[in-house]
Structure 1
């Protein structure tokens, strides 16, 4: 009996929320008949729900032939809404990835000649690798090279240093445009990128793309001691990385968190 009562009230709540969504999408007030027809509700049910929501300020009734629109209470709630940041949304997945593989996990996107680290998660181990800040060079990092690899060749110059040879951080840093172009071709073929001690001695980074259809493109990486992320280990970690990338995209609020990044890119 108790379960049936819960089900009944849940159904009523679902229907009320459906009415609010319908009113929120409409440019004009909607009549009772149109609300009931659109949501396939009995008019008696729609009347009861609208009456309660009107009393609480969630809908407003107007006109000689009553029509309904969003009420003041919705606006009060909206004013208190704070969008969740990308870091807050992705933290559980990145932390789980970092702990599973024992390496630092990074999520980033291109911003000019740099890669912007949106979130960094460190594993629960004594040896850790920090990113050295929220921005890093694109041409010598796993994240940056992977993100450049999906661009047309005539667009990569915007993400490279202005002049050659580029600064070399280790003997393995690629310091020419031709070298980068060749590297990007290999990345496209492999489906992932590797910074093999190009940015920091003794540190290797491996990155994969997030499977999104819309800009901005994001990449996920792990950074580890080079001895622990050799060619054999990369094959082992690649499916784990790809699974984590898919899990990030599947997060309920992930797409909403992309909106500020899209606005930022449009204004850049």
Structure 2
């Protein structure tokens, strides 16, 4: 779309109030909108034309946005593109409404398997369990409370998200190392990297008594419209019910649910992108 962006302050062009705006912030937002309107990448000259800002002002504002990661330079084309921090904000905004969007899918898994179902997300460098539906069985597993997880490497939701992260990001999430919770917990980096490769090949993750003795969990990633992993859903079952046919049912229900939810969010198939960590 070839158009010029209004530089009045506020929410929409022509509907902004200059009195309450901070000019530099308003202009920076206008530049980001102009890059987006141009398809995600634009030259300095074209940005100046679109925003009606002079070249020098555009350059100074873009330099700050580049430093903060909201804009990235593309030297080969002498242009500027939307940066990774924009995607971070998009993911964060999606996560705000994710529990409500995921609720019917969580309920469906719970109804069809009878097992405890979880929803988890990555918030910054932390994995957070943000929703849970308890098992319908008299014998159920105690999967703890909602909140920050101390075991991304040992849980199905954690591994389902870690598998698609670049290795640097994965190591930040796991900055406290790989603590042991059970005799089956993965505590060595090479073994974890190989396990995450397997997650990528399968499209789902398994926690085989790695976090709690007597509990098996199957989880798969949720993707947004950019194909980025924004969360994971898992279901936990006690080993006493973990017969092959029941585990197959749990796996089918979890993977079907995340595919449907990802599709609703505009996401890609769970196996469509490869992280550096798993290559």
Per the TM superposition, whether the score is higher than 0.5 is: yes
Preserved contact between residue 91 and residue 121 of structure 1 (Cα < 8 Å): no
Structure 2 residue 225 is the aligned partner of structure 1 residue 218: no
SS in 2 for 1:218: strand
d(CA) in 1 for partners of 2:163, 2:102: 24
Q: For residues 44-88 of structure 1, what are the alpha-carbon distances to aligned partners after superposition, in whole Å with 9 as ceiling and x for unaligned?
A: xxxxxxxxxxxxxxxxxxxxxxxxxxxxxxxxxxxxxxxx85334
- How far apart are 1:177 and its partner, in Å? 1.5
Residues 86 and 188 of structure 1, relative CA distance in 2, 3 Å threshold: closer
- How far apart are 1:114 and its partner, in Å? 4.2
Residues 232 and 86 of structure 1, relative CA distance in 2, 3 Å threshold: same
d(CA) in 2 for partners of 1:220, 1:162: 24
d(CA) in 1 for partners of 2:195, 2:245: 20
- How far apart are 1:102 and its partner, in Å? 0.9
Structure 2 residue 169 is the aligned partner of structure 1 residue 155: yes
SS in 1 for 2:132: strand
Structure 2 residue 226 is the aligned partner of structure 1 residue 240: no
Preserved contact between residue 113 and residue 249 of structure 2 (Cα < 8 Å): no
Q: Any residues of structure 2 matched to 1:100-249 within 5 Å, and which?
A: 100-111=112-123, 114-133=126-145, 134-136=147-149, 137-163=151-177, 166-214=178-226, 215=228, 217-230=230-243, 232-249=245-262
Residues 183 and 216 of structure 1, relative CA distance in 2, 3 Å threshold: closer
- RMSD after superposition: 2.9
Preserved contact between residue 204 and residue 255 of structure 2 (Cα < 8 Å): no
Q: For residues 141-182 of structure 1, what are the alpha-carbon distances to aligned partners after superposition, in whole Å with 9 as ceiling and x for unaligned?
A: 11111111001223211121434xx32111001112122111
Partner residue of 1:71?
none
SS in 2 for 1:210: strand
d(CA) in 1 for partners of 2:14, 2:165: 43
Specify every segment of 5 or more residues in structure 1 that has no aligned partner in the other structure, as ranges: 1-24, 30-83, 256-268
SS in 1 for 2:153: coil
- When normalised by structure 1's length, the TM-score is 0.57
d(CA) in 2 for partners of 1:239, 1:121: 18
d(CA) in 1 for partners of 2:125, 2:155: 11
Q: Which has the larger radius of gyration?
A: 1
Preserved contact between residue 110 and residue 117 of structure 2 (Cα < 8 Å): yes
Q: Which of residues 82, 86, 106 in structure 2 aligns to 1:94?
A: 106
- When normalised by structure 2's length, the TM-score is 0.55
